[in-house]
Amino acid sequence: MSDIAERVKKIVIEHLGVDAEKVTDNASFIDDLGADSLDNVELVMAFEEEFGVEIPDDAAETIQTVGDAVSFLEKNSA
């Protein structure tokens, strides 16, 4: 697992209060991990803070799963 994936999963576990084994690449924040739309906004903010990037709203809307977040950050973080 990449360093970015590990950091993403740690943030998801902390913010959504879910068990680590549930946080798979395919896990959807809303459908599988109990997040609501506000949780999604906060998760994106946490990714921005952790990786020092700005995630525009239209990009944020495409980040629905753990894997979406990892691939976006792999492409866009320094």
Partner 1 sequence: MRRVVVTGLGMVTPLGCGVDVTWSRILEGRSGAGRPDTFEVSDLACQVACEIPRGDGSDGTFNPDDWMEPKEQRKVDDFIVYSVAAADQALADAGWKPETYEDQISTGVLIGSGIGGLLGIEQNALLLKEKGPRRLSPFFIPGRLINLCSGHVSIKHGLKGPNHAVVTACSTGAHAVGDAARLIALGDADVMVAGGAESPIGRLALAGFAACRALSTGFNDDPQRASRPYDKDRDGFVMGEGAGCVVLEEYEHAKARGAKIYAEVIGYGMSGDAYHITAPAEDGDGAYRCMQAALKRAGIGPSDIDYVNAHGTSTPLGDEIELGAVSRLMGDAAGKLTMSSTKSSVGHLLGAAGAVEAIFSVLAIRDNVAPPTINLDNPSIETDIDLVAHKPKQMQIDTVLSNSFGFGGTNASLVFRRVAD
Q: 9-43 burial string, b = 16+ CB within 10 Å, else e?
A: bebbeebbebeeeebeeebebeebbebeeebbeeb
Among 1, 3, 26, 38, binds partner 1 (CB under 8 A): 38
Q: By rule CB under 8 A, what string of x and - marks binding of each residue 45-74 to partner 1?
A: x--xx----x--------------------
Q: How many residues line the site for partner 1 (CB under 8 A)? A: 10
Q: Determine the Cα–Cα distance for residues 19 and 37; give it in Å rounded to an integer.
A: 20
Nearer to partner 1, 4 or 12 (CB): 12
Largest CA distance in the chain: 30
Site of interaction with partner 1 (CB under 8 A) = 15-17, 38, 41-42, 45, 48-49, 54
